[in-house]
Structure 1
Amino acid sequence: MKPMEYKTAAELIWPGALPTPLELEEQYPLRKPASGAIVTRFAPSPTGFLHLGGLFTAFIAGRLAAQTGGRFYLRIEDTDQKREVEGGTEAILEALRAFGVTFDEGTGEAGERGSYGPYKQSRRREIYTAYAKDLMERGLAYPCFCTEEKLAAMRAEQEAQGLTTGYYGKWAVHRDLPLAEVRERIEQGQPYTVRLRSPGDPARSVIVEDLVKGTLTLPENHQDIVLLKADGLPTYHLAHAVDDHLMRTTHVIRGDEWLSSLPVHLQLWEVLGFEAPVYAHLAPILKQQGASKRKLSKRKDPEAAVSYYAERGVPPEAVLEYLLQLANWTFEDWCREHPDAPLTDFALEPGRLNRSGALFDGAKLEDTAKEVVARMTAEEVYNAALAWGRRFHPAFAGWLEADPGYAQRILAIGRGGTKPRKDIAKWSELPAYIGFFYEEPEEPARTKRIQARMRLEQARDIVRGYLAAYDEGEAAEEWFGTIRGLAAELGYADSPKTYKKNPAGFNGHTGDVAMVLRLVLTGREQTPDLYEICSILGGSAVRRRLAGWLEVSR
């Protein structure tokens, strides 16, 4: 086509009235943020579950906006309809809500809020078309009638010749079709895409300052990329540039898998006449596999899905705290210096974010979760565990709901003080952990554990002795005194150290006596404080379990 024919071609393809770029600028006016405030967004595609990397990106983008007094919005990029999963948007919203990621504007369960919508790309089709038409009128876009088969054959030939694959140079076979041929093909109903007429040169470079990566020098884009697909919907490239401009995004926070597309995007901002935002490309979360590392994978790694943590009841606060550890190496030092401060007090510095990728460590996440749970009150644990149970373990939720006071007394054991217990990492551990408060220990497993430690008659002597001496009104020190007295009476040393000095002179030590009682009452070798357990179970339950075991162990 000749330059004077560009507008004719555009009218041929889009004969109806469309908003002009100037009208759109007026419809979406510049924001007026306070000095230093930034506008960020999270823009997921509803093509599957929310990836841990997606939560990571959303969390970082939200924090950067919040700490500057800016705006953070959610945009759903749903133009890839072939890959869209039914209920995908709802699943993303639910996952973000579960992990406490909130937005100032954008798509939500109750609809949309904000003045820069619609925030779903499928509802912004006319806007993208308007910009595509403007580019064509200016000779910066054109229709391409290549079929998938034609493009595949072209790619194969390029690969055979060792060339860069893509639509450029002599391979851009429809770049300069005569207007008459364009008209004929359209009248025949041939499907077409709309491509960018790239002004780029691979011999030139673009230099960009990335907030995380620093100064980047990249080859200029020379590919005639697709702007509008055959169905009329935009590609990610066009849609994100138009939306980030009109929604007045100042900082694009995204994964560094998009780095290779950065020259394309910078070129699009330029040809569209927009001022480019600041880009910050976050390093991926990695996983160790043998001697090498790879990106955490949706297909291979169950822990890649944020639903994995929700199902297991890992506290959202623990996941977010762990993500901050991965993001910024100074965070752990800050936590040690500010043990009681909320996460929101920690100021993220983009220049200190991890540049090369952080290694996911499930054990470290679990340790973080234990620290988080240890800081919670019994009431907070109760509420969080109940919410988890209602969704994933109704029987467990039934225990908690039956007597909230009783449940909170259980959950309060070892909580508070200078050395709170740190033995719970996720709510899915609680049914087994506190189950003995609600159900009698199972036989014969309980007796087998006891027999692995001593002769059955020795254990029976301990239980009989304790049953005779037990006084539910005893204070903690008196109760310990009763255990020590019973141990001495039955020939047990007062401490492991004393026993080790003369093992032949004793049947064991006081700890062995307490372990038998622990196993009889709970069926477990590791439990919270035994005195607290007896106090919460109550006198009748303690006596019933002791006497019951004497019966079943005959």
Structure 2
Amino acid sequence: MTDFKELAQLLFPNIKKAPQDMEDMYPPRALKEGARVTRFAPSPTGFLHFGNLFTCMVSYKTAKTTDGVFYVRVEDTDQKRKVEGAIDVMLKGLSVYGINADEGVVGDEKEIGDYGPYYQSARVEIYQTYAKALVEQGLAYPCFCSADELDEIRTAQENESIKGYWGKWAKCRDLSFEQIKANIDSGMSWTLRLKSPGDLEKKCYFDDMIKGKIEMPENVQDVVLLKSDGIPTYHFAHAVDDHLMRTTHVVRGDEWISSVPIHLQLFKVLGFKPPKYAHVSPIMKEENGGKRKLSKRKDPEAAVTYYAEEGYPQESVNEYMMTLANSNFEDWRRMNKTEPIEKFPFNLKKMSVSGALFDIVKLTDVSKNVISVMPAEKVFELAYAWSKEYQPQLAELFAQDEAKATAILNIDREGKKPRKDIAKWSDVLDYVSYMYDETFVPNYELNGNATPSLAVKVIEEYLKVVNLDDDKDAWFGRMKEVCPLVGCTPNVKEYKAEPEKFEGHVGDVSTIIRVALTGRTNTPDLFAITALLGEDTVKARLNSALNHYKEEM
């Protein structure tokens, strides 16, 4: 057929603009050399998977480490799958982890930036402009095959190595202009297909930023560009959009690698320079000695909402994701303990080719480290805010006295080796429970040399001398003074040298007091705990413990 321009006018009578108009409307960005433009392109389905967050973070870092642009484009051409409010939910989920778009969709039906619209459903004229141009060049054609006819092709190809609409199976590829016009005049619906220039004997090559050099067969299929309603397929829309929005690097899951030959071919026939691709391997999880993908059906941690519900600080999740993303991050963090994560020189080429392994234990350890170096004021602020939504009991305790709550959280926090008891805000209630009468649960189990009979003697003597006005040295001095009165030594080394001479040492004495006051054998600084509990509570708990041990004797 030679009447390509006439065919293009027949198919797209309402399209008056040409590709050059679009090029003028969306010129190259004025960015410094080397700046990367990346995007997050969700469908409005509402679920933000941890894998989505991870891939999005990689895309975001790729732009930010080069002073580039990160934008959000919503791929909503499949209106049947649209969930109302889904985009807002996803964007808020990303924002929690510091991922905020420079441009694009920033809320439901809210956009900023000069390269929009950023909803694909609002860009139909743009896609059809390029589609018309492809028809004019003889690179695309209408296909009138019904669903039944396409099923027949699939059935006939059952034993073929290459399946799809191509070669002899492409029934509408060579229809004459007269046949096409007659079909349209009779009301037949049509899709627009690419007239693939692919060759079975040739390969396409591309250098993936993560996977390295990849070689694949060229695409020979005449893929659909526009559906029968004039809406583009993902393949066509993404090629047009990534070009006009001047995307330099496409970061996406590696399930899209198989589509790269189609995408590269589309960029070529459209006359566009293709972006660089970086295909991120899926997050994996160990199971029964093997590995599988993190699953939203099987794994609660697959949902990004899980981390908020459990109370993992966003800083912890970000630090953990960076350990998954770049193998050198942990060494950098050890050398740069106080530097903000934004200073880390993130590099796509240092990402795992095979897929990072999700480890909740590792996340917990990372989070303990992150929280341990937070100021008490920040720990209180974040834990209190979390508790108001997820744990009202903790919120009520904190509301009684915010200064006291902050002081509790500050115990053993400002030293060179801060404690690492808290991994997430849901740990806080248990961590502080013994500091409040409402949540204190007595537990009088002892360890070491501490026995009920020794406990009775220790508590009786300590009650005589306890004084909450003491400073720390005086407080510990009183603990030592109790030792000889109950058959213990204030010197641990002396006890170790001749244990038979003593019932215990000062550590056993302090353990008895610790257990009486907190119900635990391991706590932060006992002096600070005693001071915050107050005299009435201290004496009441000591007397309760004394009565308990007397009954045990």
Same fold (TM over 0.5): yes
Residue 303 of structure 1 aligns to a residue whose secondary structure is helix
Partner of 1:133: 132
In the alignment, residue 263 of structure 1 is paired with which amino acid?
P
Check the 8 A contact 1:441/1:521 in 2, yes or no.
Answer: no
Residue 260 of structure 1 aligns to a residue whose secondary structure is helix
Tell me the distance in 2 between the aligned counterparts of 1:172 and 1:60.
Answer: 40
Tell me the distance in 2 between the aligned counterparts of 1:153 and 1:466.
Answer: 91
* 1:528 lines up with 2:527 in the alignment: no
Partner of 1:396: 394
Residue in structure 2 matching 1:490, options 486, 490, 511: 486
Tell me the distance in 1 between the aligned counterparts of 2:182 and 2:520.
Answer: 81
Partner of 2:299: 301
Alignment of 1:166-205 (within 5 A): 166-205=164-203
Compared with structure 1, are the counterparts of its residues 479 and 148 closer, same or farther at alpha carbon in structure 2 (3 Å cutoff)?
Answer: farther
In the alignment, residue 131 of structure 1 is paired with which amino acid?
Y
Compared with structure 1, are the counterparts of its residues 391 and 147 closer, same or farther at alpha carbon in structure 2 (3 Å cutoff)?
Answer: farther
In the alignment, residue 23 of structure 2 is paired with which amino acid?
E
Partner of 1:145: 144
In the alignment, residue 128 of structure 1 is paired with which amino acid?
Y
Alignment of 1:164-313 (within 5 A): 164-313=162-311
Tell me the distance in 1 between the aligned counterparts of 2:524 and 2:149.
Answer: 70
Task: Extract unaligned runs of 5+ from structure 2.
Answer: none
Residue in structure 1 matching 2:464, options 453, 465, 468: 468
Compared with structure 1, are the counterparts of its residues 423 and 380 closer, same or farther at alpha carbon in structure 2 (3 Å cutoff)?
Answer: same
Compared with structure 1, are the counterparts of its residues 25 and 547 closer, same or farther at alpha carbon in structure 2 (3 Å cutoff)?
Answer: same
Question: 1:50 offset after TM fit, Å?
Answer: 1.6
* 1:155 lines up with 2:154 in the alignment: yes
Check the 8 A contact 2:134/2:270 in 1, yes or no.
Answer: yes
Compared with structure 1, are the counterparts of its residues 142 and 508 closer, same or farther at alpha carbon in structure 2 (3 Å cutoff)?
Answer: farther
In the alignment, residue 398 of structure 1 is paired with which amino acid?
E
Partner of 2:66: 68
Question: 1:97 offset after TM fit, Å?
Answer: 0.7
Compared with structure 1, are the counterparts of its residues 153 and 390 closer, same or farther at alpha carbon in structure 2 (3 Å cutoff)?
Answer: farther
Residue 473 of structure 1 aligns to a residue whose secondary structure is coil
Partner of 1:336: 334
* 1:105 lines up with 2:120 in the alignment: no
Alignment of 1:11-50 (within 5 A): 11-50=9-48
Check the 8 A contact 1:10/1:137 in 2, yes or no.
Answer: yes
Tell me the distance in 2 between the aligned counterparts of 1:541 and 1:373.
Answer: 29
Tell me the distance in 2 between the aligned counterparts of 1:90 and 1:318.
Answer: 23
Question: 1:245 offset after TM fit, Å?
Answer: 0.8
Q: Deviations over 1:171-190 (max 9, x none)?
A: 22232334444445445544
Check the 8 A contact 1:18/1:126 in 2, yes or no.
Answer: no
Moved more, 183-192 or 74-83: 183-192
Moved more, 253-262 or 349-358: 349-358
Alignment of 1:1-20 (within 5 A): 2-4=1-3, 6-20=4-18
Compared with structure 1, are the counterparts of its residues 497 and 197 closer, same or farther at alpha carbon in structure 2 (3 Å cutoff)?
Answer: farther
Question: 1:506 offset after TM fit, Å?
Answer: 4.5
Tell me the distance in 2 between the aligned counterparts of 1:84 and 1:259.
Answer: 25
In the alignment, residue 350 of structure 2 is paired with which amino acid?
R
Alignment of 1:339-350 (within 5 A): 339-350=337-348
Partner of 2:443: 446
Question: 1:95 offset after TM fit, Å?
Answer: 0.8
Q: Deviations over 1:43-95 (max 9, x none)?
A: 22222422222222222222222222221111122223333333321111111
Question: 1:440 offset after TM fit, Å?
Answer: 4.2
Instruction: Name the % identity.
Output: 47
Residue in structure 2 matching 1:369, options 367, 370, 387: 367
Alignment of 1:109-128 (within 5 A): 109=107, 111-128=110-127
Check the 8 A contact 1:211/1:281 in 2, yes or no.
Answer: yes
Tell me the distance in 1 between the aligned counterparts of 2:192 and 2:518.
Answer: 70
Tell me the distance in 2 between the aligned counterparts of 1:291 and 1:151.
Answer: 43
Compared with structure 1, are the counterparts of its residues 483 and 213 closer, same or farther at alpha carbon in structure 2 (3 Å cutoff)?
Answer: same
Q: Deviations over 1:335-383 (max 9, x none)?
A: 2222222212121233323222222222222111111111211111122
Partner of 1:544: 540
Question: 1:24 offset after TM fit, Å?
Answer: 1.1
Compared with structure 1, are the counterparts of its residues 129 and 394 closer, same or farther at alpha carbon in structure 2 (3 Å cutoff)?
Answer: farther
Residue 509 of structure 2 aligns to a residue whose secondary structure is helix
Task: Extract unaligned runs of 5+ from structure 1.
Answer: none
Residue 214 of structure 2 aligns to a residue whose secondary structure is strand
Question: 1:262 offset after TM fit, Å?
Answer: 0.9
Tell me the distance in 1 between the aligned counterparts of 2:535 and 2:148.
Answer: 80
Question: 1:473 offset after TM fit, Å?
Answer: 1.0
Question: 1:430 offset after TM fit, Å?
Answer: 0.6
Compared with structure 1, are the counterparts of its residues 442 and 397 closer, same or farther at alpha carbon in structure 2 (3 Å cutoff)?
Answer: closer
Question: 1:507 offset after TM fit, Å?
Answer: 4.1
Question: 1:162 offset after TM fit, Å?
Answer: 4.5
Check the 8 A contact 1:495/1:511 in 2, yes or no.
Answer: no
Moved more, 254-263 or 295-304: 295-304
Compared with structure 1, are the counterparts of its residues 428 and 190 closer, same or farther at alpha carbon in structure 2 (3 Å cutoff)?
Answer: farther
Compared with structure 1, are the counterparts of its residues 176 and 452 closer, same or farther at alpha carbon in structure 2 (3 Å cutoff)?
Answer: farther
In the alignment, residue 252 of structure 2 is paired with which amino acid?
R
In the alignment, residue 121 of structure 1 is paired with which amino acid?
Q
In the alignment, residue 521 of structure 2 is paired with which amino acid?
E
* 1:88 lines up with 2:86 in the alignment: yes
Residue 3 of structure 1 aligns to a residue whose secondary structure is coil
Moved more, 246-255 or 105-114: 105-114
Residue 79 of structure 2 aligns to a residue whose secondary structure is coil
In the alignment, residue 275 of structure 1 is paired with which amino acid?
K
Cα-Cα RMSD? 2.6
Compared with structure 1, are the counterparts of its residues 473 and 195 closer, same or farther at alpha carbon in structure 2 (3 Å cutoff)?
Answer: same
Q: Deviations over 1:508-531 (max 9, x none)?
A: 444343333333322333322211
* 1:429 lines up with 2:427 in the alignment: yes
Compared with structure 1, are the counterparts of its residues 71 and 468 closer, same or farther at alpha carbon in structure 2 (3 Å cutoff)?
Answer: same
Partner of 1:519: 515
Check the 8 A contact 1:36/1:68 in 2, yes or no.
Answer: yes
Check the 8 A contact 1:413/1:528 in 2, yes or no.
Answer: yes
Residue 163 of structure 2 aligns to a residue whose secondary structure is coil
Tell me the distance in 2 between the aligned counterparts of 1:495 and 1:301.
Answer: 52
Check the 8 A contact 1:441/1:523 in 2, yes or no.
Answer: no
* 1:412 lines up with 2:410 in the alignment: yes
Tell me the distance in 1 between the aligned counterparts of 2:102 and 2:379.
Answer: 29
Partner of 1:360: 358
In the alignment, residue 350 of structure 1 is paired with which amino acid?
L
Residue 259 of structure 2 aligns to a residue whose secondary structure is helix
